Amino acid sequence: MKKAVLIIASVLTLGAGLASSASAVSLPQYFVDPENGADSATCGGSSLANPATGPCQSLNQAMQNGGVGVQITIMRPGTFGPILINGPIGISGPPEGQAFIQWSSTPPGCKGGAPGSCNGNANATYAVDVEGGSNAAVKLKNITVGGGSGAAASADVPGRSWPAREESS
């Protein structure tokens, strides 16, 4: 079976601000647990003790709650829908690298808004679409980005696109 993936082996850093400031400044943290988390307007904490304020279940909800300039930590392996990044953000997958951002023909997750609110509620064109110009400092760690047969490419950054790569599994 063939699948299209772009593997972000360790870290992809785009832009200048987030990578250099992450070590000097503590960014607001949001947590995602696709197995035990619960999506709500108040989710994003690290503790499972209170589901309303514990980890979000989806990357989309953590992005919606977090807004600009946050660090999202995915605590367990999982597959997430497409995202559109329009400002600084860091997203870290679990150490074993089993976090997948996969293209699908649905509105993408947006920072600070409901899915689709950042692109006129259109369906996604890429698994990861960066549209923030020089202000979009993006750090992805332990993430696999997958295109698929309907995607224009796996990831798009103004001036650069990474085409999907076919792998046999």
- The three-state DSSP-derived secondary structure of 26-68 is CCCEEEECCCCCCCCCCCCCCCCCCCCCCCECCHHHHHHHHCC
Residue 158: pLDDT over 90: no
**Beta sheet of 126-130, edge-to-edge order:** 109-110, 83-85, 126-130, 153-157, 160-162
Model confidence at 3, pLDDT cuts 50, 70, 90, reads very low
pLDDT value of residue 10: 33
Residues 96-154 have pLDDT tens digits of 878 999 988 888 988 888 888 888 888 888 888 888 666 667 889 999 988 877 777 78
**What whole-number distance in Å separates Cα of residue 119 and Cα of residue 34?**
25
Residues 89-111 have pLDDT tens digits of 899 999 887 899 998 888 898 88
Residue 62: pLDDT over 90: yes
State the Cα angle at 72 between 65 and 115, rounded to 5°.
45
Is the pTM of the predicted complex or chain greater than 0.85? no
pLDDT value of residue 161: 54
Instruction: Return the domain boundaries, the chain.
Output: 2-27+78-168
- Beta strands 138-146 and 99-102, pairing class: parallel
Q: Report the run of H or E that residue 22 belongs to, with start and end.
A: helix 17-22
